[in-house]
Amino acid sequence: MKLTIERAALLKSLTHVQSVVERRNTIPILSNILLRAENDQLSLTATDMDLEVVETTTAEVAEAGATTTPAHTLYEIVRKLPEGSQVQISLEPGAGRLTLSAGRSKFNLAVLPVDDFPVMSGGDLPVSFGLAAAELRGLIDRAEFAISTEETRYYLNGIYFHATDAEGTKILRAVATDGHRLARVEAPLPDGAENMPGVIVPRKTIGELRKLIDETGEAVDIAMSDTKIRFGFGKAILTSKLIDGTFPDYERVIPSGNDKTLDIECKGFADAVDRVSAISIEKSRAVKVVLSGTTLTLSASSPEHGTASEELEINYDAEDIEIGFNSRYLLDIAKQVKGDTLNLLMSDGSSPTILRDTDDLSALYVLMPMRV
């Protein structure tokens, strides 16, 4: 194998694929990246057995071939090479070392056999459709924060995508919850997605997918079965296993009888919550919200540090209510609001609250109360 490639092109592709590789691996080949050079193209493949990213980039290939070499080492070397440099990569038959040179720098890297590298078989992916990159980005960005990190409830460790019907309109819905908060985001159902199965895309896949979306302004080609999903971005393809589990009936968590409504300027409210919660060092950083007439009072206390409170002027005409929230969860939701106004729909101090961006009704958030 012998090729020459621009540092910028190689670094861009390496950045996308190397993050799939875990820092600690008990299986040595999974620490490696597969390089395959042919037809003036270099393809780079990385996998952790559950997720695979393949990216192809242009290179001057003098001699076709393939090998595997440590992903993070290769990435660090290329990252530290001078900008604008031409990188020569070569592997002599039987040499057992990959040679990489640029200018006066030269590196010899360990290699492992290509045959040992696991390849995720595509299998049959019967459902396929295209989705605009901006739509997919919007679904992920507004739901990702609510994904659970609790490994015991593995079926919550991802975003649940499914096709459904809302008031006679066919939609694609993305839902995530960790049991304390829930995000439900909607987009128009793309052509071809009518028969898609309900799938739970794992948290790590969502993270890698999000990085790739930023690099493309085009439609993303999506293909799926009950067990796998593939996202195509022109020169990059991400294939992932899906979480094998049943997502809970989230509709039961969304309250329907909340009758106390409050519209509040989102940034001012979020800043006040952030200030008041600074007094508490506990993980939950609990804040109490008291609504009474034209005043909203935020308060927090800590046995070690004291108390904090702040009043905000509001327009509220329902009966008084006192409710506690995890301030971090409240701020996470406030960050998703792109408009000026946050709408809160409440029932009482012990029931879930619905929060919405008044400028974007395609997203709905539910937040469980906590004792303060």
User: CA triplet 264, 324, 287: central angle to 5 degrees?
Assistant: 75
59 SS3 class = coil
239 SS3 class = strand
**Band (352; pLDDT cuts 50, 70, 90):** very high
Two tokens at 24?
């600690």
pLDDT score, position 122: 67
Q: For 58-71, how does the pLDDT look when each residue is reduced to its tens digit (9 = 90+)?
A: 999 999 999 999 99
Burial class (CB in 10 A: 0-12, 13-18, 19+), 266: buried
Architecture, CATH, for domain 1-114: Roll (3.10)
Pairing outcome for strands 260-265 and 286-292: unpaired
Instruction: For residue 305, report the phi and psi dihedrals to the nearest 5 degrees.
Output: -110, -15
Please name the residue that has the structure tokens 């559950």. 50
**What is the average pLDDT value for the chain, to the nearest integer?**
94
Q: Judge if 1-114 and 253-365 fold alike in CATH terms.
A: yes
Residue 202 has pLDDT above 90, yes or no: yes
Q: Which amino acid is at 359?
A: D
Domain 253-365 CATH (choose: 3.10.150.10, 3.30.1330.40, 3.40.50.620, 3.40.50.300): 3.10.150.10
* Burial 138-167, CB ≥16 within 10 A → b, else e: bbbebbbbbbbeeeeeeebbbbbbbbeeee
Q: For the chain, what are the domain ranges?
A: 1-114, 125-250, 253-365
Q: For 111-168, how does the pLDDT look when each residue is reduced to its tens digit (9 = 90+)?
A: 999 999 998 876 799 999 999 999 999 999 999 999 999 999 999 999 999 999 988 8
Domain 125-250 in CATH 3.40.50.150: no
